Amino acid sequence: MRSAPAVSAGSAASAAGSGRHAGGVELRGLFKSFGPIEAVRGIDVSVTRGETVALLGPNGAGKSTTIDMMLGLAQPDRGSVSVFGREPSAAIAAGAVGAMLQTGSLLRDLSVRELLDMMASLYPSPMPVQEALVLTGADAFADQRTQKLSGGETQRARFAVALVSDPQLLVLDEPTAAMDVEGRRAFWETMRGFAARGRTIVFATHYLEEADAYADRAVLMAAGRIVADGPTTEIRAMVGTRTIRATLPDAPLEALAGLPGVTGAERRGEAIVLTCSDSDAAIRALLAAHPGVRDIEIAAAGLEEAFLELTSARAQADRRS
């Protein structure tokens, strides 16, 4: 099982003159294969200091491999990685990076507090251990042995380990995977506060609503490539699909699906949902054919719809190539 390296930071003062505050994160022309499997195929991403960026994509998209290269846990076959103007290993040695990965386990037979005390001792100016415990909600089980923690508690403890030395860059791979709804909400409240300190955050997630709510920008990956990069509002706008919802009892779906600009129709009780390639044409045709329609709502594609359409288009393009 792969363990995360000790990649958290000490204070900004301890890194003065070290290049810790230079630039941001730069991924240029990254390629990585595992035997015949091309996991990453030409990734170019820049993350500026103080930015929160979400990596999105289906399983096998290359998110975790990209994170591994960002952290120096894997070497690219081609391309380069720069973290605050340094190689990843140098940035980690300078104490600029904290990580919380999907795999790896906590040291056994220590309490959570003892583990954080040990980790904090590795850095010249760490965050106070009690502050890290409170920030992550791990204070509620600080005296519990690590092997006795639940899945959600383990995630919080690992988060505290990543935070205890106050990193400038925090890299998270599916950080809320084992958390319940309340735990996820508390986690992101903590992350808001951490980002407000000017820290840089890169996180991979399967929860699209997390990217929508907390990221300044999303990088959408599919089949090892980037298919979209920008604010989630822009990613939605890349997909021309709009949805019309309205109350219209008894209208036959076949007739609705045949309206100009409509690509699909479904019924939900007395409500209809029309998927449209041209919502202007569709709404004109709907009103003309069914003047009694009411409670009309027109919405742009959600992030989930954009995600599915863009990743599907990338997969189809790869199959053709």
In words, the CATH class of domain 240-300 is alpha beta
Q: Which residue has the higher pLDDT, 240 or 102?
A: 102
Q: Can you give the C-alpha Rg of the chain in angstroms?
A: 23
pTM for the complete prediction? 0.73
String of DSSP letters for 269-306: TTEEEEEES-HHHHHHHHHHH-TT-EEEEEEEPPHHHH
Q: Please write down the HEC assignment for all residues of 103-125.
A: CCCCCCCCEHHHHHHHHHCCCCC
Give the pLDDT confidence score for residue 297 in this predicted structure: 92
CB-based burial, 258-291: b 16+ in 10 Å, e otherwise: ebebbeebeeeeeebebbbeebeebbebbeeebe
What is the pLDDT averaged over residues 87-97? 85
Q: Is the CB of residue 220 less than 8 Å from the CB of residue 62?
A: no
Question: Does the pLDDT value for residue 177 go beyond 90?
Answer: no
Question: Does the pLDDT value for residue 138 go beyond 80?
Answer: yes
Determine which of 52-66, 72-86, 148-162, 301-315 has the lowest per-residue pLDDT on average.
301-315
In words, the CATH class of domain 13-236 is alpha beta
Question: Does the pLDDT value for residue 190 go beyond 90?
Answer: no
Question: Does the pLDDT value for residue 222 go beyond 70?
Answer: yes
Question: Does the pLDDT value for residue 254 go beyond 90?
Answer: yes
Give the pLDDT confidence score for residue 4 in this predicted structure: 41
Residue 22: pLDDT band with limits 50, 70, 90: low
For the chain, the average pLDDT equals 85
Give the pLDDT confidence score for residue 72 in this predicted structure: 93
Closest CA to 98 of 181, 219, 201, 239: 201
Give the pLDDT confidence score for residue 19 in this predicted structure: 39
Determine which of 172-176, 284-288, 297-301 has the lowest per-residue pLDDT on average.
297-301
Closest CA to 197 of 22, 49, 93: 49
The enclosing H or E element of 236 equals: helix 232-237
Q: Structural domain boundaries of the chain?
A: 13-236, 240-300
- State what percent of residues in the chain have pLDDT above 70: 88
Q: Is the CB of residue 195 less than 8 Å from the CB of residue 282?
A: no
Question: Does the pLDDT value for residue 315 go beyond 90?
Answer: no
What is the pLDDT averaged over residues 169-190? 85
Please write the tens of the pLDDT for every residue from 207-220.
Answer: 888 888 899 999 99
Residue 9: pLDDT band with limits 50, 70, 90: very low
The enclosing H or E element of 152 equals: helix 151-163
